[in-house]
Chains A and B, each alone.
Chain A
Amino acid sequence: MSADYSSDEMMTVAAARQLRDGTACFVGIGLPSTAANLARVTHAPNLVLIYESGCLGAKPDRLPLSIGDGVLADTADAVVSVPEVFNYWLQPGRIDVGFLGAAQLDRYGNINTTVIGGDYTDPKVRLPGAGGAPEIAASCGEVVVIVRQSLRTFIDRVDFVTSVGYGAGPGYRARLGLRGGGPKTVITDLGVLTADPVTCELTLTRLHPGVTVDQVRAATGWPLAVADEVSTGEPPSTDELTVLRALEATKKAGV
């Protein structure tokens, strides 16, 4: 064990551990891509990484900067067109896990990556927008969200619903006809939140080492539901940290 790690590293390692070997995972760029590649190099060698650029089963030996770096196409089982990746692979529910980031998130796991503040046509901050996320959130077997937790990101009501989670609560996804299971897990730099099977509310179930429930509450913009028993996760192992840092170094090197 190493006590010398950052909260971002803990978050990425916790997210990687969430991915089971042999499943297919639709990977967004940034933190999701880092965590998914860490999982593939450590405990989940048969994790199938799907990138929206059309790379199915990519096995990069270095972290891509974008979702379409050459290393993804070079190492993929198949490279398909963009209409195909969405229509034939994502839409029918062939992908087990969708792995997303968020700029804002509410208690039902609804995600905003579009605009913050003001109104839609005159926002305070214009964000990149939807990308593949709305359909990933709708159609994957389940969704894992990885996001740093703060009052800025964990807010009572998202300014814009870019990707729907459990909407307004129980029954919402079924009423809309959404086939995927929704955001079951949210992994942050403080701990892990799990959607309650009855209320659909994100509930604190696990803390990262050294983090308190009060700290998580203070970084949440709504009265946070906390599980009766909150566990404490394992810190990153030496192996996990070594692999993660080596991966990060490949991204910085820009090779």
Chain B
Amino acid sequence: MAKLVSLAEGVAELVRDGDTVALEGFTHLIPFAAGHEIIRQRRRDLTLVRMTPDVIYDQLIGAGCARRLVFSWGGNPGVGSLHRFRDAVQNSWPVPLELEEHSHAGMANRYVAGASGLPFAVLRGYTGTDLPRHTANIRPIECPFTGETLTAVAALRPDVTVVHAQRADPAGNVQMWGITGVQKEAVLAARRSLVTVEEIVDDLDPVPGQVILPGWAVTAVAHVPGGAHPSYTQGYSVRDNDFYRAWDAISRERASFEEWIARHVRDVEVPA
């Protein structure tokens, strides 16, 4: 049964320096509040894993939490580049950032393999691209039945996966709906998991398209209303597209970025 914790407790117990950490959520349900708590607790040397390291990882990278990034698309969707990500890659600021780069299909399948307890997944992918040259985690494989050459990708096994969801019950059963991305796979692939939720309710009334993570498959649940902002939570909030646009200017210069992180993340009082 998942433990009910505060956000600060959950991050303190489950996210450790040097860990491989996946914060997932495909545009929807991005666990921003948990990311901010990781910054406040000054985690270091993390290997950050995420299909779409958008604004949340730009913040973690700029705040110096990451040593390595495993990803498939690093931009501010519909807006442009991630300036902190670029500064880290091009100028090693504030610390050098190592990259391991994939396609979405590859990353999704790597989580599936991790969740399935397999060492790798197989797909038709990456063929003819330059991506396999830069990582050992993409290899050709021969189909034992047809002899066809396919692509194998190594399983992802994060130390901890963090996701945001609509609701949980007191036993820590988690319910999410809308675009649920790769969260189920990312949680099941990880050794530990932390789920932040909008609400804790006595009964999880069924919702069309829902994904349920049973409480016994989740390590900890924290009640964090609004924890996905500026991303959104279907049924609770809408995507704050204005913030995503504003981030472009905030993050462009190191000084304005640091001022923003100080004011909106580091100096924010959170319940212990």
Chain A interfacial positions (CB closer than 8 Å to B):
29-30, 52-55, 64-70, 72-73, 79, 81-83, 86-87, 90-91, 114, 120, 122-135, 138-139, 160-164, 167, 172-173, 176-179, 251, 254
Q: Which residue of B lies closest to A85 (CB)?
A: B108
Q: Are A70 and B90 in contact (CB under 8 A)?
A: no
> Which of the residues A82, A135, A139, A164 comes within 8 Å of B51, measured between beta carbons?
A82
> Which of the residues A55, A131, A179 comes within 8 Å of B124, measured between beta carbons?
A179
> Which of the residues B75, B134, B242 comes within 8 Å of A120, measured between beta carbons?
B134
Q: Which residue of B lies closest to A93 (CB)?
A: B124
Q: Are A65 and B241 in contact (CB under 8 A)?
A: yes
A/B interface sample: 6 pairs, CB < 8 A: A54-B181, A70-B238, A82-B104, A91-B124, A131-B103, A254-B241
Q: Are A132 and B104 in contact (CB under 8 A)?
A: yes
Q: Report the minimal beta-carbon distance from B81 to chain A, rounded to whole angstroms.
A: 7
Beyond A90-B105, A128-B75, list 18 extra A-B contacts (CB 8 Å).
A30-B78, A54-B26, A69-B239, A69-B241, A81-B182, A82-B108, A83-B108, A83-B109, A83-B182, A87-B112, A128-B74, A134-B105, A134-B125, A138-B127, A161-B130, A164-B127, A164-B128, A167-B128
A69 neighbours in B (Cβ, 8 Å): 27, 239, 241
The count of residues in chain B whose C-beta lies closer than 8 Å to any C-beta of chain A is 58
Q: Which residue of A lies closest to B97 (CB)?
A: A126
A164 neighbours in B (Cβ, 8 Å): 127-129
B209 neighbours in A (Cβ, 8 Å): 79
A161 neighbours in B (Cβ, 8 Å): 128-130
Q: Are B103 and A55 in contact (CB under 8 A)?
A: no
Answer whether residue B141 sits at the interface, using C-beta atoms and an 8 A cutoff.
no
B148 neighbours in A (Cβ, 8 Å): 177
- B-side interface mostly: loop
Q: A70-B234, A163-B129 are in contact. Are A128 and B105 (CB under 8 A)?
A: no
Answer whether residue B131 sits at the interface, using C-beta atoms and an 8 A cutoff.
yes
Q: How far is A120 from B89 in the complex, measured between Cα atoms in Å? A: 10
Q: How far is A162 from B81 in the complex, measured between Cα atoms in Å? A: 17
Q: Are B179 and A55 in contact (CB under 8 A)?
A: yes
Q: Are A130 and B129 in contact (CB under 8 A)?
A: yes
Answer whether residue B72 sits at the interface, using C-beta atoms and an 8 A cutoff.
yes
Q: Are A53 and B27 in contact (CB under 8 A)?
A: yes
Q: How far is A52 from B72 in the complex, measured between Cα atoms in Å? A: 12
Chain B CB count within 10 A is highest, among A66, A72, A90, for: A66
Q: How far is A132 from B52 in the complex, measured between Cα atoms in Å? A: 11
Q: A91-B124, A178-B127 are in contact. Are A126 and B86 (CB under 8 A)?
A: yes
A82 neighbours in B (Cβ, 8 Å): 26, 51, 104, 108, 181-182
Q: Which residue of A lies closest to B237 (CB)?
A: A70
Q: In B110-135, which residues have CB < 8 Å from any A CB? A: 111-112, 123-131, 133-134
Q: Report the minimal beta-carbon distance from A162 to chain B, rounded to whole angstroms.
A: 6
Q: Report the minimal beta-carbon distance from A63 to chain B, rounded to whole angstroms.
A: 9
Q: Are A67 and B77 in contact (CB under 8 A)?
A: yes
Answer whether residue B215 sits at the interface, using C-beta atoms and an 8 A cutoff.
no
Q: Which residue of A lies closest to B80 (CB)?
A: A128
Q: Are A65 and B79 in contact (CB under 8 A)?
A: yes
B103 neighbours in A (Cβ, 8 Å): 130-135
Answer whether residue B184 sits at the interface, using C-beta atoms and an 8 A cutoff.
yes
B256 neighbours in A (Cβ, 8 Å): none
Q: Are A65 and B131 in contact (CB under 8 A)?
A: no
A123 neighbours in B (Cβ, 8 Å): 89-90
Q: Which residue of A lies closest to B125 (CB)?
A: A135
A132 neighbours in B (Cβ, 8 Å): 73, 103-105
Q: Report the minimal beta-carbon distance from A200 to chain B, rounded to whole angstroms.
A: 13
